[in-house]
Structure 1
Amino acid sequence: PAYGYNYEGGQVVFGIDIFVAQPFDKWEVLSFEQNIRDPVFAWKLTNFSTRYLDSYTSDSFTSGGRNWKLKVYPNGAGSATGNSLSLYLLSASSENGYVQAKLRVIGTTNVEKQVGGLRNTTENGWGYDKFMPLADIQDSSKGFLVNDALKFEVEIVSFSKTDFIN
């Protein structure tokens, strides 16, 4: 034959296995929330120069129907200890997923950095060890420390949401 294989008598043999799959009893639907209700949360850390703990965590806030927290290390975390402020967005629930957000320290000119992706650790979520130099915070001409208080903002841009349907 020109195409394929023939056995004795010019016959071709095929085999088929048929499996009947069990119907799904649960469906998982992944979507992205992009028109976030209450997307911006502001937090002020007072008495900044006299803070002695390694880290401080904001109260829980709701944005887009999900609960979040901000966590700051005034003297840095990890490789940034002693030279940078570290800032993170945390999920206040056990939900994992993708997030896009903007973290800010408010001053004469705000410092803003974007975070995105899956959270890097349960403890610190999304953020930066080296968010901004401590020297910039202490520089009065930059207007970050006002009456010994430092202001933070987070803007939730989008996040993934998983729904399970029975």
Structure 2
Amino acid sequence: MGSSSTEVSTIVKNWREHPPASYSLKIHSFSQLENSTASSDDKYQSRLFSSGGYNCESLMVFTPPTETFAELRFFVYNKKENKYFTIQDIEVKRFNALQTVWGVQQILPCDTFSNPDNGYIFEGDQCEFGVDVIVSPPHTKWEILTFAEKYSDPKFYWVIKKFSELKENVQTSNSFSMGGKKWFLMLYPKSDSRAEGKWLSIFLLLADCDKPKADEKIYMKANFRILDPLGSNHFDRQLEMWCTEQIPAWGWSQFLSLAELPKVYLDKEDTLKVEVEFKVVSAATKYSEADPLEEEWVQLTPENYID
């Protein structure tokens, strides 16, 4: 059984009442225009007009080479319908020194256009054409998100001595660096306020110097472990999170049962060992918000709508 592919057309035809926004060319005697151009190159070029800050006449490229992108929509007025027939190639066109002309080769059959009964030629010998040139603004705003996944030493160890004798409700580790950011752990030996004194609670936080800005997010994935002193039955849970300005910390109120903890995870010296092994951290997001007025600019040419 054979297979075939059908090319999808990017040409869209429509009708609309609103006139062209960029430029309109009204001709009072189309037959005279045809006669006047027959002895030359069979075309008439409109006057210069501007759209989106670009002059649609001649392309002047500065150093370094520049280019711009635009959507083009062409119009033919129909007096009978009192609307504009529009045709558009929905693919955005790239204008540069090598490609200064874009357009649509076939808008209307000549006999359809020239027959007054169809409404494109009206009031004797008049007609109207137009174009919308929708220029895309320069590419000035962007961001690059990268992830760090390989570390020479991906683990942080926290040794808490005399765990059963701790008086403070919360314990805070020393800060440590991972993935280009500073972190620290917070541990509640007798639960935080949501765990009702039955669970060990533990959280990972970004240091103040690395907390996300208002429009920033930082991704992190790591394994948390309470180590078995005998080395065979570690308690392990994975944490995966996006840190934001509103939520700079993640973890568990109910990480490990306090009833189970002394049976397995405290050694003879009453020491608790916590390990965090980092898998992924998103690196600092690079972004730009350059002023378009500072960018190089280009002058567009159409003939742009005659191909």
TM more than 0.5: yes
C-alpha distance 28-4 of structure 1, shift in aligned 2 (>3 A):
closer
Structure number with higher strand proportion: 1
Superposition deviation, residue 15 in structure 1: 5.1
Spell out, residue by residue over 1:94-124, the C-alpha distance to the aligned partner (whole angstroms, 9 max, x if none): 13411101111111411010000213833xx
- Indicate conservation of the 8 Å contact 1:37/1:65, yes or no: no
- Indicate conservation of the 8 Å contact 2:239/2:251, yes or no: yes
- Indicate conservation of the 8 Å contact 1:101/1:154, yes or no: yes
Report how many residues are paired: 158
- Indicate conservation of the 8 Å contact 1:56/1:72, yes or no: yes
2:206 counterpart of 1:111? no
Spell out, residue by residue over 1:106-162, the C-alpha distance to the aligned partner (whole angstroms, 9 max, x if none): 11411010000213833xx121111000011122xx2x1111111000011001121
In structure 2, list runs of 5 or more residues that go unmatched. 1-12, 16-76, 81-118, 122-127, 291-307
C-alpha distance 67-21 of structure 1, shift in aligned 2 (>3 A):
same
- Indicate conservation of the 8 Å contact 1:73/1:85, yes or no: yes
Please tell me the residue identity of whatever aligns with 1:39. P
2:148 counterpart of 1:33? yes
The residue number in structure 1 matching 2:270 is 148
Superposition deviation, residue 21 in structure 1: 2.2
Q: Out of 91, 94, 99, which is 2:211 matched to? A: 94
Q: Distance in 1 between matches of 2:14 and 2:185?
A: 66
Q: Out of 142, 155, 167, which is 1:52 matched to? A: 167
Spell out, residue by residue over 1:60-119, the C-alpha distance to the aligned partner (whole angstroms, 9 max, x if none): 112233211111111111321300001111112213411101111111411010000213
Partner SS, residue 49 of structure 1: helix
- Indicate conservation of the 8 Å contact 1:41/1:153, yes or no: yes
- Indicate conservation of the 8 Å contact 1:97/1:159, yes or no: yes
Q: Distance in 2 between matches of 1:151 and 1:47?
A: 11
Partner SS, residue 146 of structure 2: strand
Q: Distance in 2 between matches of 1:16 and 1:65?
A: 49
The residue number in structure 1 matching 2:114 is none
Please tell me the residue identity of whatever aligns with 2:286. D
% identical equivalent positions: 30
Please tell me the residue identity of whatever aligns with 2:255. F
TM-score by length of 2: 0.47
2:280 counterpart of 1:163? no
Please tell me the residue identity of whatever aligns with 1:18. I
Q: Out of 134, 146, 158, which is 1:18 matched to? A: 134
C-alpha distance 119-77 of structure 1, shift in aligned 2 (>3 A):
farther
- Indicate conservation of the 8 Å contact 1:87/1:129, yes or no: yes
C-alpha distance 21-77 of structure 1, shift in aligned 2 (>3 A):
same
- Indicate conservation of the 8 Å contact 2:186/2:202, yes or no: yes
Structure 1 runs of 4+ aligned residues shifted over 6 Å read none
Spell out, residue by residue over 1:14-63, the C-alpha distance to the aligned partner (whole angstroms, 9 max, x if none): 65253462551x64211111112321010111121111112111001122
